[in-house]
Amino acid sequence: MFKRILSNDLPRSRPLTLCLLLIIAVLVIEPFLFHSEKATAVAAKVLVFILLAASYDLVLGYTGIVSFAHSVFFGVGAYGIALPAVYVGPSALAMLAGFICACVISALIAFLIGLFSLRVKAIFYAMITLAVAASTQTLVSQMSEITGGEDGVTFNVPAVLSASFEPFHQPIWGIVINGRVITYYLVLLIVLVSFLILLRIVNSPFGRVLQAIRENEFRAEALGFSVVRYRVAGTVISALFATAAGGVLALWLRYVGPDTTLGSEVMLDLLLIVVIGGMGTLYGAVIGAALLVIVQNYLQDLLAIGANLTADVPLLGQLASPDRWSLWLGLLFILCVYYFPSGVVGRLRLRRRSSDVG
């Protein structure tokens, strides 16, 4: 039964299984565990990035094409939830309608980009997505009457999900169940279900074809699979899940802005998560997201202390400043691609294979 839920794609490594179980267990009981708002926020962000990174891995890891516009679909989803809430009001129906519109828009954008670039050369895709991502970010910042510009917009969520909604009089296991806790579990549920669907997709015959194209495009074409069609379909599906991740983020934050959804930092985080976790395996997304988000939120404080110590040294102080966080992430990213291309999951699985032989 368990194997069936995971679509026969088991972690295949004991340490990896333990890591995954630990992460999932912590995420499930988190609201009852730490009683801190920051910890819950970090956990929710981990969840959103698990879904986002898993959907990105469908393109990068499984299909083998690089997209820099994944943050655009993420942003479309977030604004799709936020804008109806701002202009129509916090009703679940309006938000759902907005989300469906967002899905249609995302699918259309992904389809068009794919059609134009993938039918010539797969590397066109990387270049065109970069241009689209840059243009979209500028556009959203400029259309400030609608999108709130650089500052973004805050909005109210339906009453059931707001902090003032308290269905029980007594605290349960030490905490008062309010709308925020309900939102957290809604996020968890959506992410979990989406992740399992993605797992099903990559292990379906369709997913196998995508991997075949990644390994050898020419041979896949020779076997009679229309490479363009499969690639476009792959990017559209991935865009849809990214849209879902964006919607979930907006629901949790009750805020959208270009920096949190469309910025190049989001893209860098995403690339790092997928590469560190391991390209071409969805479990890598879980490990990578948990690692990066936690490190980002707690190590940055540490780095700030370091920056205070070195503030008087001219260049070193600049290098260690928390504002230059992307510098270190970028370096880490390059080193990972060179020396650690299979990521954490790849390493753990490799160890198991060699111990099996020995």
Partner 1 sequence: MKASDIGGEVRSVRWRTLDFWPCALVLIATAVALPLIGSPSTWLTLTVAGIAAGIIIFIVASGLTLVFGLMDVLNFGHGVFVGSGAYVAAALMTHLATWSRLTWATASAAILISMLTAALAVGVVGWAFERVVIRPVYGEHLKQILVTMGGMIVAEELIKVFWGPQQIPLALPEALRGAFIFPVGEHGAAVERFRLLVIGIGLLVLASLAYVLGRTKLGLLVRAGVLDSEMVEALGYRIRRLFVWVFVAGAALAGAGGALWGFYQQNLVPQIGTQVNVLVFVVIIMGGLGSTFGCFIGALLVGLISNYAGFMAPKLALFSTLGIMVLILLWRPQGLYPVTSNRT
Residues engaged in binding partner 1 (CB under 8 A): 60, 64, 66, 68, 116, 119-124, 126-128, 130-132, 134-135, 138-139, 142-143, 218, 264, 268, 271, 275, 315, 318-319, 323-324, 326-327, 329-331, 333-334, 337-338, 341
User: Vertex 60, ends 343 and 106: CA angle to 5°?
Assistant: 135
Min. distance of Cβ 66 from partner 1 in angstroms?
Answer: 5
Min. distance of Cβ 347 from partner 1 in angstroms?
Answer: 17
Task: CB nearer to partner 1: give 139 or 311.
Answer: 139
Task: CB nearer to partner 1: give 29 or 127.
Answer: 127
Min. distance of Cβ 196 from partner 1 in angstroms?
Answer: 27
- C-alpha distances (whole Å) from 240 to each of 65, 72, 95, 151, 232 are 17, 11, 16, 26, 12
Q: What's the rounded Cα separation, in Å, for the pair 5 and 200?
A: 8
Task: CB nearer to partner 1: give 24 or 336.
Answer: 336
Q: What's the rounded Cα separation, in Å, for the pair 110 and 286?
A: 24
Task: CB nearer to partner 1: give 158 or 278.
Answer: 278
What is the residue type of 80? Answer: G
Work out whether the CA dihedral 163, 169, 174, 177 comes out positive or negative.
Answer: negative
DSSP state of 204: S
Neighbour-count burial for 286-308, b at 16+ CB within 10 Å, e otherwise:
bbbbbbbbbebeeeeeeeeeebe
Task: CB nearer to partner 1: give 188 or 236.
Answer: 236
Min. distance of Cβ 101 from partner 1 in angstroms?
Answer: 20
Closest CA to 113 of 72, 54, 74, 60: 72
State phi, psi for 167 to the nearest 5 degrees. -70, -30
Task: CB nearer to partner 1: give 50 or 113.
Answer: 113
Task: CB nearer to partner 1: give 91 or 300.
Answer: 300
Concatenating the DSSP letter of every residue in 59-110 gives IIIII----S-HHHHHHHHHHHHHHHHHHT-S-HHHHHHHHHHHHHHHHHHH
Min. distance of Cβ 79 from partner 1 in angstroms?
Answer: 17
Helix then strand then coil, in percent of the chain rounded to 5, is 80, 0, 20
Task: CB nearer to partner 1: give 61 or 246.
Answer: 61
Task: CB nearer to partner 1: give 142 or 156.
Answer: 142
Closest CA to 71 of 128, 113, 133, 135: 133
Closest CA to 253 of 329, 340, 175, 154: 154
Min. distance of Cβ 57 from partner 1 in angstroms?
Answer: 13
Inter-residue contact 78 to 245 (CB < 8 Å):
no
Question: How many C-beta neighbours within 10 Å does residue 150 have?
Answer: 12
Min. distance of Cβ 295 from partner 1 in angstroms?
Answer: 17
